[in-house]
Amino acid sequence: MANTVSIIIFGITGDLTHRKLIPALFNNYQKKRLEENFQIIGFSGRDWSDDKLRVSLREGIDQHADYEINEERWQTFAQKIHYFRGSFDDTDAYFRLTQALEGLENGSANRLYYLATPPGFITAITENLGKTGLNRENGGWRRVVIEKPFGTNLESAQTLNREIHKVLREDQIYRIDHYLGKETVQNILVIRFANTIFEPVWNRNYIDHVQITVAEKVGLENRAKYYDSVGVVRDMFQNHLLQLLSLVAMEPPSSYQANDLRDEKAKVLKSIRKIPTEQICNETIRGQYRGYQEEEGVARGTKTATYAAIRFYVDNWRWQGVPFYLRSGKKMTKKLSEITIQFKNPPHLMFPLPPNYEFTSNKLILLLQPDEGIQVKFETKVPDTVAETRSVNLEYHYKDVFGEKAIPEAYERLLMDAITGDASLFNRSDHLELAWELLDPILNAWDDPDRHQPLTIYEPGSWGPKEADDFLSADSRKWHPEDSPSL
Ligand code: BG6
């Protein structure tokens, strides 16, 4: 088997390549994880040269990477970057690409095709890889990395899977969800399965409910056209939030191998109760921030949701009756991704507490970002009182233990995994389809004018619509963090 790797990036002149892919590849090279025998071939339609591409990618690193740059390493790295001009739907370009690759590779090589393009090009590119034999594994592996969004509903995702499977085996396809590359997200399994103190209580007997919050401070960031056509459910829930739910709810896999892990995640997705259409208005909140419709590039009168909250139930022995509240939105008060495991009240309190005393039960909070860490909230006795209690925190912050810059960019890990052939942190075709099966009915009901699901408006800089607070208080619960109610 070859040991040279060609990384062919379709859409090399785009934003993703500049912000994430090249900074991650270069840091892997600086860390000597990416060895010398590789080259990067950038495929795009623009009239660029090798030099212009190298300069532009370097600017991307300067703007977006937060690590030290070793100039000597950059010089050798830059020499490995080559530009290839072509149109994604022109089969002849792929024949020319084959020749260009053979010229650079000097014998057999492995090839990683990275589709950093708008989703509309996925079929054309994979089809052309097939037509020109670029998918053939003669002497080296061929893998394809596909960015989200993967389809816009169940039907389009199934069609896309079928089209891609005509050219590639499932084990050659790496569907990326960058949340899975985050250290703190990988740590969910370590917390659960490398400790003995959590797993015995990780079930319906002790857990009252689970909250998953992915709040963003940013708005559209020049992506109005894309965002207005998808909205928060397709952009965040279909992938990131449902992946987080799977990791919290899954059973221990039999090994850390890709398919064992992915089988367990698929089982969770299969166990999530599909919300019947007539219940959707009770089980979901859809919101839009005030001023969204006036943003440049957004259709006037659009009902696209920039915020959603959804209550799911996982119908299995472990989780029966435990609600999972998921919420995410743009232009919220701050960037915060966290998972709160809310434990039940003790079955009996024998302390002489004042009447109407609001007892606080235990919480385990997984702080995914930005201040990565873990908090356990527990009750302690206030000194010099008979039995007054107070909630206090046990806290662990990554930065205190591993230093400020310990957490790498998610793409560093994901790119290396694709190169080394570890698909554990990538989505399998069944995950995507199962996720769409859950979300399609919600999106359809929201779009159906006869169902009158209200579009609630929230203030930019708030925690989302007030209705989302009512949604939880109707269940006698509150969102965490509690200190910042919605405006
Ligand atoms: C992307 C979404 O997948 O995730 C963006 O398309 C969103 O809209 C981003 O801003 C959030 O990622 P992170 O890593 O900043 O939480």
Residue 270 lies in a domain: yes
Same domain, yes or no, for 315 and 271? yes
How many folded domains does the chain comprise? 2
pLDDT of residue 36: 87
Instruction: Choose which residue among 19, 64, 178 to substitute to test ligand 1 binding: the one with the highest number of ligand atoms within 8 A of its C-beta.
Output: 178
pLDDT in tens, 284-317: 999 999 999 999 999 999 999 999 999 999 999 9
For ligand 1, residues with CB inside 6 Å are 216, 235, 337
pLDDT of residue 387: 86
Which atom number of ligand 1 is nearest to the Cα of residue 223? 8
Question: Mean pLDDT of all residues in the chain?
Answer: 95
Give the confidence band of 14 by pLDDT, cuts at 50, 70, 90: very high
Catalytic (active site) residue 178? no
- The edge-to-edge listing of strands for the beta sheet with 173-176 is 81-85, 38-44, 5-10, 110-115, 142-146, 173-176, 426-427
Residue 475 has pLDDT above 50, yes or no: yes
408 CA to centre of ligand 1 in angstroms:
16
Sort strands 455-458 and 284-289 into parallel, antiparallel or unpaired.
parallel
Residues 73 and 31: beta-carbon distance below 8 Å: no
Longest CA pairwise span in the chain (Å): 83
Return the percentage of the chain with pLDDT > 70, whole number: 99
By alpha-carbon position, which residue is closest to atom 15 of ligand 1?
A: 216
Residues 439 and 237: beta-carbon distance below 8 Å: yes
Same domain, yes or no, for 122 and 249? no
CA atoms of 414 and 161, how far apart (whole Å): 21
Residue 2 has pLDDT above 90, yes or no: no
Q: Which residues pair with 72 in a beta bridge?
A: none
pLDDT in tens, 189-208: 999 999 999 999 999 999 99
441 CA to centre of ligand 1 in angstroms:
23
Residue 372 lies in a domain: yes
Same domain, yes or no, for 138 and 186? no
| CB atoms closer than 10 angstroms to residue 94 | 21
By alpha-carbon position, which residue is closest to atom 13 of ligand 1?
A: 179
**What is the phi/psi pair of residue 322, to 5°?**
-95, 115
CA atoms of 212 and 375, how far apart (whole Å): 15
Residue 487 has pLDDT above 60, yes or no: no
Residue 73 lies in a domain: yes
Instruction: Choose which residue among 146, 240, 369 to substitute to test ligand 1 binding: the one with the highest number of ligand atoms within 8 A of its C-beta.
Output: 240
CA atoms of 141 and 3, how far apart (whole Å): 10
Same domain, yes or no, for 126 and 215? no
Residue 43 has pLDDT above 90, yes or no: yes
Residue 170 lies in a domain: no
Same domain, yes or no, for 11 and 84? yes
Higher pLDDT, 426 or 352: 426
192 CA to centre of ligand 1 in angstroms:
25
By alpha-carbon position, which residue is closest to atom 9 of ligand 1?
A: 236
The alpha carbon of 87 is separated from its chain's Cα centroid by a whole number of angstroms, namely 29
Residue 356 has pLDDT above 90, yes or no: no
Same domain, yes or no, for 85 and 216? no
Give the CA distances from residue 487 to residues 181, 214, 482, in Å, rounded to whole numbers and listed in that order: 33, 18, 13
The mean per-residue pLDDT over the stretch 421-433 comes to 96
pTM of the model: 0.95
pLDDT of residue 222: 85
CATH code of 417's domain:
3.30.360.10
CA atoms of 81 and 106, how far apart (whole Å): 16
Residue 233 has pLDDT above 60, yes or no: yes
Contact residues for 139 (Cβ-Cβ < 8 A; gap 6+): 1, 2, 107, 108, 109
- CA dihedral angle for residue 53, residue 87, residue 25, residue 411, rounded to 10 degrees: 130
By alpha-carbon position, which residue is closest to atom 2 of ligand 1?
A: 235
Kindly provide the b/e burial profile for residues 12-40, where b requires at least 16 CB atoms within 10 angstroms of the residue's own CB.
bbbebbbbbbbbbbbbbbbeeebeeebbb
Residue 157 lies in a domain: no
pLDDT in tens, 359-408: 889 999 999 999 999 999 999 999 998 888 899 999 999 999 999 889 99
Same domain, yes or no, for 291 and 396? yes
By alpha-carbon position, which residue is closest to atom 6 of ligand 1?
A: 235
Residue-range definition of the domain harbouring residue 364: 180-473
Catalytic residue (one of 82, 209, 240, 480): 240
Residue 205 lies in a domain: yes
Residues 455 and 468: beta-carbon distance below 8 Å: no
pLDDT of residue 486: 42
Orientation angle between helical segments 154-165 and 429-447, nearest 10 degrees: 150
Which atom number of ligand 1 is nearest to the Cα of residue 337? 16
40 CA to centre of ligand 1 in angstroms:
25
Residues 434 and 266: beta-carbon distance below 8 Å: yes
213 CA to centre of ligand 1 in angstroms:
13
The mean per-residue pLDDT over the stretch 180-186 comes to 96
CATH code of 12's domain:
3.40.50.720
**Residue that terminates a domain, selected from 127, 147, 167:** 147
Residue 1 has pLDDT above 90, yes or no: no
Same domain, yes or no, for 344 and 441? yes
Which atom number of ligand 1 is nearest to the Cα of residue 239? 3
Q: Which residues pair with 173 in a beta bridge?
A: 144
298 CA to centre of ligand 1 in angstroms:
19
Sort strands 389-397 and 373-381 into parallel, antiparallel or unpaired.
antiparallel
pLDDT in tens, 131-160: 999 999 988 999 999 999 999 999 999 999
Same domain, yes or no, for 273 and 398? yes
Which atom number of ligand 1 is nearest to the Cα of residue 182? 14
301 CA to centre of ligand 1 in angstroms:
25
> Residue holding tokens 């690193």?
61
Same domain, yes or no, for 140 and 185? no
Same domain, yes or no, for 27 and 135? yes
Same domain, yes or no, for 68 and 187? no
By alpha-carbon position, which residue is closest to atom 14 of ligand 1?
A: 179
**Residue that terminates a domain, selected from 147, 163, 191:** 147
Amino acid at 409: E
Cis preceding linkage at 460, omega within 30:
no
Residue 241 lies in a domain: yes
**Residue that terminates a domain, selected from 130, 147, 164:** 147
Give the confidence band of 483 by pLDDT, cuts at 50, 70, 90: low
Burial class of residue 213 (count of CB atoms within 10 Å of its CB; 0-12, 13-18, 19+): buried
Residue 169 lies in a domain: no
